């Protein structure tokens, strides 16, 4: 029926434009931070001697994190759609994870394995989790678990693409390009899935 199809399409678009609360966005950022931090720490632990040095300059992965933080923060200010804001939050969280993994190195001017890094990680995760959950646990569950499957796929693709920064920072460009394209492919599938559902007006 045309009326029901049109109504379903409107309801679907309203779901796509559903705003996330500050608690939900904070949880997405924290989850992205933990994912990025753990991936960076695991990669560096398994490949301790793999570094990129060009003209005497050592390119640490916190530089890639800094780029993500700046890009995600700027885009989050400029873009207005709720879906775009969630994407920006994930990118921002990934960037802070890459930077956080090298906090010890930055503070000690060279000691990557400094206990300061783990102290920083525990503080961020503990305080962040407490703040997010204490503010509004039910709303966080609704904001995160209630995301449509295609948006989850889109955000997962961005996480995969973000992890490619570790391969680039380790001078493994072939793997970095492969991971980057794999992430973009997953994100693109999520975006196409979203368009298809909106066009169909599926519930």
Q: Considering the domain boundaries, does residue 180 fall inside one?
A: yes
Contact 42, 166 (CB under 8 A): no
Stated pTM of the model: 0.73
Q: Considering the domain boundaries, does residue 162 fall inside one?
A: yes
Find all residues with CB under 8 Å of 10, minimum gap 6, and list them: 201
How far apart CA 114 and CA 67 sit, in angstroms, is 24
How far apart CA 103 and CA 90 sit, in angstroms, is 20
Provide the domain count of the chain: 1
Q: Considering the domain boundaries, does residue 4 fall inside one?
A: no
> Which pLDDT score is estimated for 148?
81
Cα angle vertex 21, ends 180, 130, to 5°? 85
Instruction: Find the helix or strand (DSSP H, E) in which 57 lies.
Output: strand 57-58
10 has a pLDDT exceeding 50: no
Q: Considering the domain boundaries, does residue 8 fall inside one?
A: no
Q: Considering the domain boundaries, does residue 16 fall inside one?
A: no
Per-residue confidence band for 140, with pLDDT thresholds at 50, 70 and 90: confident
Find all residues with CB under 8 Å of 136, minimum gap 6, and list them: 21, 23
pLDDT in tens, 50-93: 665 555 556 677 888 999 999 999 998 888 788 888 899 999 99
Q: Considering the domain boundaries, does residue 78 fall inside one?
A: yes
Domain that holds residue 90: 21-200
- Cα 66 to its chain centre, rounded Å, is 13
Q: Considering the domain boundaries, does residue 2 fall inside one?
A: no
Q: Considering the domain boundaries, does residue 13 fall inside one?
A: no
């Amino acid at each position: 029926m045309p009326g029901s199809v049109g109504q379903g399409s409107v309801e679907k678009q309203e779901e796509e434009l559903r705003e996330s609360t500050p608690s939900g966005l904070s949880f997405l950022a924290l989850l992205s931070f933990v994912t990025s931090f753990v991936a960076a720490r695991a990669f560096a632990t398994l490949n301790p001697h793999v570094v990129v040095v060009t003209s005497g300059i050592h390119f640490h992965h916190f530089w890639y994190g800094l780029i993500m933080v700046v890009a995600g923060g700027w885009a989050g200010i400029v873009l207005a759609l709720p879906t775009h804001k969630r994407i920006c939050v994930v990118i921002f969280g990934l960037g802070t994870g890459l930077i956080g993994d090298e906090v010890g190195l930055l503070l000690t001017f060279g000691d990557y394995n400094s206990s300061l890094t783990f102290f920083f990680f525990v503080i961020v995760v503990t305080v962040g989790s407490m703040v997010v959950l204490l503010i509004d646990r039910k709303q966080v569950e609704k904001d995160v678990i209630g995301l449509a499957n295609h948006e989850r796929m889109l955000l997962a693709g961005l996480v995969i693409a973000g992890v490619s920064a570790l391969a680039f920072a380790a001078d493994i460009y072939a793997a970095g390009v492969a991971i980057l394209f794999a992430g973009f492919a997953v994100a693109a599938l999520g975006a196409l899935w979203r368009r298809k559902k909106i066009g169909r007006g599926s519930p």
